[in-house]
Amino acid sequence: MPLLVFLIVVSFAMYVFYKIKYVRSSRPIERKWLSTKSSIALGLFVALFGMNQLFLFQTTITYIISGLFILLGALNAVSGFKRYKHYLPFAIQEADEANSHL
């Protein structure tokens, strides 16, 4: 599945991108907000990797492990999205306060 491979590469690239932004950020709430975005990307990476394995190998062990990858990736992405929605207003407020001091 070339589409799955493309999505896997994009989600991993987004994970690395947000982790680099996380390290470079100095504001505490923004760091938490960026961490949730990287968590979503990592969850998608793991889930998509599990889905890709289902197409490559058709064994019972693959089905079990792929199911675990898909489940854990989906849980990580959903959890990250919930935390993203929680921190977003605080990150906006923190950015506004930092810009008003300039």
The tens digit of pLDDT for each residue in 17-73 reads 999 999 999 999 999 999 999 999 999 999 999 999 998 988 999 999 999 999 999
Is the pLDDT score of 98 beyond 90? no
- pLDDT at position 101 is 73
d(CA 39, CA 20): 13
Single-letter code of the amino acid located at 101:
H
Nearest Cα neighbor of 46 from 67, 19, 16 is 67
Q: Is the pTM of this model over 0.75?
A: yes
pLDDT tens across 75-91, in order? 999 999 999 999 999 99
| Residue 70: per-residue pLDDT | 97
